[in-house]
Amino acid sequence: MTTAPYDDSPPRHALTVLGAGVMGVGITVLALGHGLPVHLVDVDRERLDRAADLIDGELRLAELMGALPAGTPLGALETGTSLKAAAGATAVVEAVTENAAIKAAVLSEVSGLVRPGTLLITNTSSIPVDELAGALERPEELVGTHFMNPPYLIGTAEVVRGARTGDHAMAAVAALLTALRRRAVTVRDAPGFVTSRILHPMINDAARVVEEGTATAEDVDALMQGCLGHPTGPLRTADLIGIDNLVDSLTVLHERTGDEGCRPAELLLRLVREGRLGRKSGRGFYDYT
């Protein structure tokens, strides 16, 4: 009798995703659906439990929408609260709260745990990559990769090369995005890069228009969709992003550019105070309950 030789070659891609919120869940669905194993880490055990259910539902949705490669077995999912899971990863995707101090602390810790040469990705919306790279033992390993929401339905990702990002990390991120069938558009590092620098102040203005009583949220979205071809309207997009995350991103932009157009609109701040965070809380500009 012959036995098949053991395949002891290391996995080509094995991800650790940090943060089990809106984006951590979506990135995990994208990776699992493309056959990559994922270890999902969050500080909040309840978030992780909820994420497991959300991932099941979103995998079914992605499959139904033809967003996953047919015939590819799903990757294995593990979840946990310890960053130590990152030690065996080929790449770490950081998708924690949009706060520079929190991100710098997590990235610094993870940088001390992974094998040298491991790709570190930050999914920040607005914080300059080189600002976060300053917290790392090896800043050349960090690349910005701005997956859009939901990552398994949006085929393009904005890749951000920081001043200290190395060629090895750029090649590794290109290989990972190819495995995930995402098209990469690489841009220079700056607050908000391209997409958040343009989209987030636009959403802020849409909120101001509602705040000033010029139009309802429904009418703003109807005009932006019907006349200007915006796919969902800016305020439905705000609900999809999460209004707390949008306020955090606008604050980062305002602090780093001085652009008054990025100061979060009072209406956005009020919605956050009232817990109306958008789809994730059941209510934002619209009601999802």
Ligand X SMILES: NC(=O)c1ccc[n+]([C@@H]2O[C@H](COP(=O)([O-])OP(=O)(O)OC[C@H]3O[C@@H](n4cnc5c(N)ncnc54)[C@H](O)[C@@H]3O)[C@@H](O)[C@H]2O)c1
Place of tokens 């690349």: 143
As annotated, the active-site residues are 146
Binding-site residue total for ligand X (CB under 6 A)?
Answer: 28
Among 118, 123, 165, 281, binds ligand X (CB under 6 A): 123
In the complex, the smallest distance separating the C-beta of residue 108 from ligand X, rounded to whole angstroms, is 11
Return d(Cα 159, Cα 149) in angstroms, integer: 15
The dihedral built from the CA positions of residue 148, 152, 158 and 159, taken in this order, carries a sign that is: positive
Closer residue to ligand X in complex, CB, 14/240: 240
Annotate each residue in 161-200 with x if it binds ligand X (CB under 6 A) or - if it does not, as one string. Answer: ----------------------------------------
Closest CA to 243 of 265, 214, 222: 265
Is there a contact between 53 and 29 (Cβ–Cβ < 8 Å)? no
Query: Is residue 251 involved in binding ligand X (CB under 6 A)?
Result: no
Phi first, then psi: what are they for 112, rounded to 5°?
-80, -10
CB of 89 to ligand X, least distance (A): 14
DSSP assignment of 98-111 equals S-HHHHHHHHHHHH
Of residues 13-32, those binding ligand X (CB under 6 A): 18-24
- Which of 31, 32, 91, 95 is in the footprint of ligand X by CB under 6 A? 95
Q: Does 124 bind ligand X (CB under 6 A)?
A: yes
Q: 43 or 215, CB closer to ligand X?
A: 43
Between 36 and 110, CB nearer to ligand X: 110
Assess contact for 92 and 118: CB atoms under 8 A: yes
The only residue of 249, 265, 272, 285 in contact with ligand X, by rule CB under 6 A? 249
Residues 49-78 within binding reach of ligand X (CB under 6 A): none
Sign for the pseudo-dihedral over CA of 106, 108, 113, 119: positive
The answer to whether 55 and 29 have CB atoms below 8 angstroms apart is yes
For 283, the token pair is 């209510």
Closest distance of CB 156 from ligand X, Å: 12
- From 55, 85, 106, 169, residue interacting with ligand X (rule: CB under 6 A): 106
- Strand order in 119-122's β-sheet? 77-80, 38-41, 15-18, 91-94, 119-122, 142-146, 156-161, 183-188
Closest CA to 69 of 29, 26, 35: 35
Asked if residue 282 lies in contact with residue 24, where contact means CB atoms within 8 angstroms, the answer is no
Which of the ranges 5-13, 29-37, 118-126, 207-215 carries the binding residues for ligand X, by CB under 6 A? Answer: 118-126
* Residue 103 assigned to a binding site: yes
Summarize as ranges the residues that interact with ligand X (CB under 6 A).
18-24, 41-44, 47, 95-98, 102, 106, 123-125, 146, 148-149, 241-242, 245, 249
